[in-house]
Amino acid sequence: MSPLEEHTLAHREKFIRRIEKQGGKSVFDIPYENYLRTVLWIAIRDWVVESQSGKCAICDHKAAEVHHHDYDEATLLGLRSSGLVGLCARCHELIEFDEARTKRVSLDDKRAVFEKLASEFTCLKQEGFRVTVERSKLMINLEYVGNEDFLKFIHCSSLAYIFIIKQFSRSEMTFPLPFGREKLQQKSGVVLNLRKSGKKMAAIKATPTSIQIKLTKTCVYPFEESLRAFLELEPFIKVVQ
C-alpha cells in the first residue's frame, strides 16, 4: 500500500460506505463540489501538500491548494498521487485561467501550462531575476532587465513592498497605513517620513518592472545602500551592471 493509500484508508472506506448508502456506485455519483467537502478529500489534499514540504511544486511559495492533473477514480479515492500537485494560489490560477481570464477545460492544456511554468521557474533560478540599480542625484532607479516570462513569479512592486516592510516597520521611518502593493503603483507613490520629526525622507513608486525612490534634499537615510543590501539577501535577485 502506498503512503497516500495508507494515510487515507479509513476515510476512503467511510466515503465508499456513504456513497453506497445513498444508492451510488462510484465516486462519480456525487457532485464534485460535495466531494471537495469530504474528509477524504481534505486528507488527500493535506497529504499532498505535506509530501511537498508545504511548498508550491512550481515556484517554492507556500502551497495553498492542490491541483488535479487527473480526475480518475484512483486519484479521487486517494489510491494514486501522481495526478495531484500542491500549488500556491497564484500558480494554480495561471494554470486554470488563460490570459483572457477564461477557464481552461482541457486537462492536457493545463498539464502543458504546468510544465511550462515549472521550466520557466527553473530558468529563473538559474538566470536570476536581473535588475539594474542606478543613482542620479536624488533619484534611485531600479529596472528589471531580465526575461519577461519571469514577471509571472516576481514583480518589482512586490519587491518594493517587501523592502519597505522589512526595512521600516520597526525603524525610525513611518509609511501610510494601511499599506499595500497598490499604494506603490499610485502616481505619488508611498511617502516615507521620519518618525520623530515627521520630515519627508523619500517617495517610493513601483511598477511591475521598476522601482523609483525619490529622495528629498534633506534625506538622511542611506536608501541606496539599504536597497542594495536588501537585494543581496533576496533569493533569485541578481543586480547587474
User: DSSP characters for 126-195?
Assistant: HH-EEEEEEEETTEEEEEE-S-GGGGGT--HHHHHHHHHHHHHTTSSEE--SS--HHHHHSTT-EEEEET
Q: Is 59 in the site for Zn ion (CB under 5 A)?
A: yes
The binder of Zn ion chosen from 58, 94, 142, 159 (CB under 5 A): 58
**Nearest residue (CB) to Zn ion, 92 versus 183:** 92
Closest contact distance (angstroms) between CB of 124 and Zn ion is: 12
C-alpha cell at 19: 456513497
**Nearest residue (CB) to Zn ion, 64 versus 239:** 64
Q: Is 56 in the site for Zn ion (CB under 5 A)?
A: yes
d(CA 43, CA 26): 19
Closest contact distance (angstroms) between CB of 44 and Zn ion is: 20
In the sheet with 190-194, reading across from the earlier edge strand, the strands are 173-174, 190-194, 200-207, 210-215, 139-144, 129-136, 237-239
**Nearest residue (CB) to Zn ion, 60 versus 72:** 60
Question: Which of these segments, 11-19, 57-65, 93-101, 176-184, binds Zn ion (CB under 5 A)?
Answer: 57-65
Q: Is 61 in the site for Zn ion (CB under 5 A)?
A: yes
Instruction: Report which of 221, 238, 239 is spatially closest to residue 164, judged by C-alpha positions.
Output: 221
The three-state secondary structure class of 77 is coil
Using the structure block, give the residue that is written with the C-alpha cell 543581496.
Answer: 232
The three-state secondary structure class of 59 is coil
**Nearest residue (CB) to Zn ion, 42 versus 89:** 89
Number of residues this chain uses to bind Zn ion (CB under 5 A): 6
According to CB under 5 A, which residues from 69 to 88 bind Zn ion? 88
According to CB under 5 A, which residues from 146 to 165 bind Zn ion? none
d(CA 238, CA 241): 10
d(CA 56, CA 208): 22
Q: Is 94 in the site for Zn ion (CB under 5 A)?
A: no
C-alpha cell at 226: 539599504
Question: Which of these segments, 17-25, 34-42, 48-56, 215-223, binds Zn ion (CB under 5 A)?
Answer: 48-56
**Nearest residue (CB) to Zn ion, 88 versus 159:** 88
**Nearest residue (CB) to Zn ion, 67 versus 205:** 67
Eight-state DSSP code of residue 29: G
Question: Which of these segments, 10-18, 20-28, 54-62, 203-211, binds Zn ion (CB under 5 A)?
Answer: 54-62
Total residue length of the chain: 241
Binding site for Zn ion (CB under 5 A): 56, 58-59, 61, 88, 91
